Amino acid sequence: MFLGCPFVMDPDVPKDGYIKIENNSNDSIVFAFYLLGKKIDNTDRNYWGNKYDDSTIPPDTFLLDKFNNSNIKQHLKKGAYTYYLFSLDSVRTIPWERIRDERIILKEVVFNTWEEMENSNFIITYP
């Protein structure tokens, strides 16, 4: 299922792992993630609520998306952990419903198991 809405991580849980998201393009990108089985009805506004700072990756840079390893391992036992990469220009100018319905995304990376995350060396690259 395409990003219906994100799962929001508890900020009080210690973060001991991360995914490195590398932007090797000439454009700024934005990332989002989705945990299967964790939905919030968020159809009236976009994923970020027009606040992209923590999710924006400028050209030729990277961002570390930090998380709690134990929490991710538990979620992966129940379903997939998916990252979506979007053009920053798209999320600023295109209504969220259209992005969601027409799948206006740059890249989708699905991790079904912890081993898949390990095999990726915890790195996602774009393009």
Amino acid (one-letter) located at 45:
R
Q: What is the pLDDT of residues 48-99, one digit of tens each?
A: 666 778 889 999 999 999 999 998 998 898 888 889 999 999 988 988 888 8
**Beta-strand pair 56-57/17-23:** unpaired
H-helix or E-strand containing 108? Answer: strand 107-111
Is pTM beyond 0.85 here?
A: no
Q: What is the pLDDT of residues 7-59, one digit of tens each?
A: 445 566 788 999 999 999 999 999 988 766 544 344 444 566 667 788 899 99
The per-residue pLDDT for 47 is: 61
Contacts with 76 (C-beta within 8 Å, 6 or more apart), sequence order: 111, 112, 113, 114, 117
